[in-house]
Amino acid sequence: MRAFVTVRAFVAAAAVLLGLSLGGESIAQAATPDYLRLTDASVSQLKREEKQRQSKGRDRPVFIKVGDSNTATHLSLYGLGCYRYQPTGLSDSLLGVVRRYRKVRLPLGRTDLAGASCNHKEWSNSFSRVSLVSRGGTLFDFPMERGTDFGLDCIGSNLTCEIDATTPRYAFIQFGTNEALGATTPALGAVQLEEVETRLAAIIATCRSRRVTPVVITAPMAVDNSFSGPGLPGRVIQVNTVIRQTAKENRVPLVDLWLAQSQLIGPEFNYGLDQGGIHLSSPSTPDRWLGTVNLSIHNRIGYGMNLRSYLILSALERLDRIR
């Protein structure tokens, strides 16, 4: 196994990053960066995947959501797909991204998650579809498990079932919280970290075998509380170190949500987490949908779910420009 960066070393590096400023203006006060990490190798890989999709006539603006409860919850991206809601706090170009990915009609996904989607007809879109491969409490192995084990009427894994149903351009992938949460020791061991690497690499390979560009998102910040026990934030750092390394080695675009929470939100607003310390927060308003589609700078630097949605839209905008 390769030598992974130590927790102490990564915390030290993060401390330096937290002190960054832009011309005397704090990062949180400036225009929100997109936190999309692209290497020259990942750009070249992205162009190859784009050409493959075009050659098969499958290059349409569709993405799928692959993740645990922070992806499956109705407070995630779903509201952006609701035509009765007009997103606020976005530039004209990002509003264009919303319109572009709302445009393609997709079949309905999971129907067993009450309240997750605002769909009222027999179709959805990339934002509003309840993904077959997003489920609370899951780990990196969930996408590769058999769909029939989860009641899906398809042959293949949860991931391939969702890809085949939607023929997407991108797959946004976010796990890691439950690996860190379920550990019984203050730090994760080498075997556990190797499993994260192996399983993430398998997800990436499967996406590419279906001509889908994987986009990895780091696991969110987490804080210690009575539910999780000690060591959770450090274990998340360990998992994210593996996620970053695996994404780089496999030439995969990466959205660094953990770093964005650290730099833009910080401890004043509990890093954009709810009281439980592991789920991303969103505004508590009478209409929760409206709160989740308000992506103003105020909400981006106060609520983790709003920040995550903004970063995904920003990533879509940049990725679509690469041809």
Closest to 300 (Cα-Cα) out of 316, 318, 312, 289:
312
In a domain, 167, yes or no: yes
As a whole number, mean pLDDT of residues 238-242 equals: 97
What value does the mean pLDDT take over residues 40-44?
A: 97
Q: Is residue 14 part of a domain?
A: no
Asked if residue 179 is part of any domain, the answer here is yes
* Better-predicted residue by pLDDT, 31 or 187: 187
Query: Residue 53 maps to which CATH number?
Result: 3.40.50.1110
Whether residue 22 is contained in a domain is answered as: no
Task: Indicate the SS3 state at residue 55.
Answer: helix
pLDDT of residue 229: 66
Residues 276-315: tens digit of each pLDDT: 899 999 998 877 788 899 999 999 999 999 999 999 999 9
Task: Tell me if 142 sits within 8 A of 133, measured CB to CB.
Answer: yes
pLDDT band at 34 (very low <50, low <70, confident <90, very high): confident
Number of folded domains that form the chain: 1
Q: Which amino acid is at 259?
A: L
Give kind and range of the element (H or E) at residue 180. Answer: helix 177-181
Phi and psi at residue 218, to the nearest 5°: -65, 155
Look at residue 32 in the predicted model and tell me its pLDDT. 76
Res 224: pLDDT: 82
Q: What pLDDT does residue 112 have?
A: 81
Q: What percent of the chain has pLDDT over 70?
A: 88
Domain span at residue 148? 32-321
For residue 293, CA distances in Å to 75, 109, 126, 305 come to 9, 21, 15, 10
d(CA 304, CA 298): 11
Write down the pTM of the prediction. 0.90
Return the percentage of the chain with pLDDT > 90, whole number.
73
Does residue 17 sit within a domain?
no
Instruction: Classify residue 156 as exposed, middle or buried by CB count within 10 Å of its CB (0-12, 13-18, 19+).
Output: middle
- Report residue 228's pLDDT band, with 50, 70 and 90 as the boundaries: low
Band (pLDDT 50/70/90 cuts) for residue 114 is low
Which of 60 and 4 is assigned the larger pLDDT?
A: 60
Domain assignment present for 249: yes
